[in-house]
Structure 1
Amino acid sequence: MTLGQKIAWDDTVLPFQLDQSDIRGRVARLDGVLDGILCQHDYPEKVEALIAEMTLLTALVGQTIKLRWKLSLQVQSNGPVRMIATDYFAPSQEGESAKLRAYASFDPERLTKAAPFEQVGEGYFAVLIDQGTDTAPYQGITPIAGGSLRACAEAYFAQSEQLPTRFALSFGKSTEVDSSEHWRAGGVMLQHMPKASPFAKEGASGDQGLLAAADIVDGDDKENWNRVNILLDTVDDLELVGPSVSPTDLLVRLFHEETLRVFDIQPIRFGCTCSEDRVRNSLSIYSAKDLEKMTTSEGLVTADCQFCGAHYVLQPSTLGFEARADDRDED
């Protein structure tokens, strides 16, 4: 494997379809994207692992949204890790890279020696889709369930979308020869094609009484779903993270008897949409009296982007709904 070969499939998502089984899916490989996200903060390793998993899920799910749309995944909990937020910005036009960003908020003194997911308490897993101006954003919420963020996402799709969905994920610190230690992640997503009238049994077999994939497939669909999942069970961690196995080679190895079709690969990069104009807009609802409480001893209002670490320094007189036009022009 050469460095050029590795770069060819790092930070990409490859969509595919299994025509015989009526199942679609994606293969994602993240490397530099995770470096861009994690280097913004000095996260403990357990928090880094949760961010890596959430970012990988977001890349796999996000590839399905339309141009110019934004997908957000969020976890809110009462545990040591209070929130994990990720955003996927679809390309503005065909051929461009999608952008990913993520961050987490946590209480350092409450973190324990338990596994990363044990740092997440009770709460909810949310999916939000923003279709742009003049549209109402979509939001779907399910309780945090199962033993991983992957399980939360599977429960969301079964419960809220009635779509059987499966994720196989691997992530961790890479220790490749002649390379500094850094995070890598890779995974496969399987999802049954939507049905006009999805089948659902009475009751639910998932954690906390939620629907699971097995509850919403029947007959031939159930047989196909089970068979493809058995094939996916044969994948190993090194194949998923893919330092030396291309996404296409992985799919051929797993599903060569399933009438496999692959589509155009989607490149992804770390990116943020914050700007001074956005900061100003977010502060435009405040009065001069409100802004006075936000002003530092140096007489400035400052704001930091949690996603990319950008630092903004602004004059209070140019902010809020009482700002004078001549002050705004001078700033």
Structure 2
Amino acid sequence: MTIGSQIAWDDTILPFQLDRSDIRGRVARLDGVLDEVLAQHDYPPAIEALVAEMALLTALIGQTIKLRWKLSLQVRGDGPARLIATDYYGPSKEGEPARIRAYASYDEDRLDPTGDGFPQIGKGYFAILIDQGSGMVPYQGITPIAGGSLSSCAETYFAQSEQLPTRFSLGFGESQEPRQGIRWRAGGVMLQVMPEASPYATGGGSGEDGLLNANDIMDGDEEENWNRANLLLDTVEEFELIGPQVDTPDLLVRLFHEERPRVFDPQPVKFGCTCSADRVRQSLSIYSAKDIGHMTTDDGIVTADCQFCGAHYEFDPKTLGFEAEEAPGDDT
């Protein structure tokens, strides 16, 4: 494989369909994107792994949303890994890259920095939010933390909230290639039964705490097709998921050639944050002058930092809030 073909599939999401089994899916590769996401913060290894997994899930799920829509994934728990939040912004125009950003909050005093991150989330919930833009009511779906990974939480969400059998197989971690430094790489495959093939389930499920799982919402040929595709996905190796030695179309042929895979146009992705001085100012517009006064530092300014990209903003307090005395100037 040439260097050019390796680069062609870096930071892309490739949608596909298995025509024989009526299953759709996506293959995602994140490398430069993930490096940039994690470079914004000095996270301990346990949190880095959670952010990497969440970013990969976000890329795989987010590819289905429409232009200019925003998809957000959140995991909140009562353990030391308190919050993992990611955003996927659909491209502004056809052919443009989508954007991903991610952020984590954790209790440093309670966290085991090198331990497994998922048990350190504790009890909580997994949420998916879709913002369709101005004038539209955002969609939100929530399921309890379940299973042994963020991938399991996402699978439970789709079974419980969307009644769509869904499977993720992910690989991620730091790697070093010849003549290159250490960098993060991630790759994964998502399988999902086509909506019209999935019957509606009622009652409790066979999953953790009675939650539904994939086998609870399938029967007959659909279940047989699903089980066959999952057995094929079980054979994937981590190096095949992460790349770059195996490109994504070749990976699909290796895994699913008997299922007649059909690929569609790939979606490029990049790291991107939407923060700006205007957005911060807008978020502070609900506060009174007294509230703004409490936010003002001894140096006479109001500061704000973006949790996703680390951008730092400073404002004249007289220009903030619904009682602003002056028009905005050249705040940084």
State if a TM-score over 0.5 links the two structures.
yes
Q: Say whether the 8 Å CA contact 1:201–1:215 is kept in structure 2.
A: no
> Aligned equivalents of 2:37 and 2:3: distance in 1?
22
Cα shift readout 1:96-119 (whole Å, capped 9, x = no counterpart): 000000010001111125312121
* Correspondence list, 1:8-47, <5 A: 8-47=8-47
Q: In the alignment, which residue of structure 1 is the partner of 2:60?
A: 60
User: Which letter maps to 2:78?
Assistant: N
| 3-state SS of paired residue (1:142) | strand
Please list, as runs of the form range in 1=range in 2, the aligned pairs for 1:1-331 lying within 5 A after superposition: 1-112=1-112, 114-195=115-196, 198-200=199-201, 202-324=203-325, 326-329=326-329
The Cα of 1:197 is off from its aligned counterpart by 6.7
Report the more deviating stretch, 159-168 or 1-10: 1-10
The one-letter code matched in structure 2 to 1:223 is E
The answer (yes or no) to whether the contact 2:198–2:217 under 8 Å persists in 1 is no
Deviation at 1:179, TM superposition (A): 1.3
Structure 2: unaligned runs, 5 residues or longer: none
SS in 1 for 2:65: coil
Deviation digits for residues 124-153 of structure 1, max 9, x if unmatched?
000000000000000000000000000000
Structure 1 residues 26-35 or 196-205, which shifts more? Answer: 196-205
* Structure 2 residue identity aligned to 1:132: G
The CA RMSD measured in Å over matched residues stands at 1.3
Q: Give the distance between the partners of 2:259 and 2:197, measured in 1 at CA.
A: 23
Q: Distance in 1 between matches of 2:150 and 2:261?
A: 28
Q: Which amino acid aligns with 1:319?
A: L
Query: Equivalents in 1 of 2:180, 2:63: separation in Å?
Result: 29
**Gaps (5+ residues) in structure 1?**
none
Q: State the secondary structure of the residue aligned to 1:100.
A: strand
- The answer to which of 83-92 and 191-200 deviates more is 191-200
Are 1:199 and 1:218, in contact at CA under 8 Å, matched by a contact in 2?
A: no
Residue-by-residue CA offset, 1:280-320 (whole Å, 9 max, x unaligned) = 00000001110111111100000000001110010000000
> TM-score, length-normalised on structure 2?
0.97
Q: TM-score, normalised by structure 1?
A: 0.97
The answer to whether the Cα contact below 8 Å between 2:56 and 2:187 also exists between their aligned partners in 1 is: yes
Q: Distance in 2 between matches of 1:201 and 1:260?
A: 32
| AA aligned opposite 2:64 | T
Q: What is the rounded CA distance, in whole Å, between the counterparts of 1:18 and 1:201 in structure 2?
A: 28
| Matches of 2:237 and 2:7, distance apart in 1 | 21
Question: Aligned partners of 2:280 and 2:50: how far apart in 1?
Answer: 28
Structure 1 residues 197 and 52: CA distance shift in structure 2, 3 A: closer
**What percentage of aligned pairs have identical amino acids?**
70
CA contact (8 A) 2:197 2:222 kept: no
Aligned partner of residue 209 in structure 2, secondary structure: helix
Displacement, 1:48? 0.2
Conserved? CA contact 2:165–2:198, under 8 Å:
no
**Deviation of 1:93 (Å):** 1.0
**Cα distance change on mapping 1:215 and 1:201 into 2, 3 Å:** farther
Output the CA distance in 2 between the equivalents of 1:10 and 1:138. Answer: 30
Give the distance between the partners of 2:223 and 2:327, measured in 1 at CA.
65
1:197 to 1:114, Cα distance in 2 relative to 1, 3 A: closer
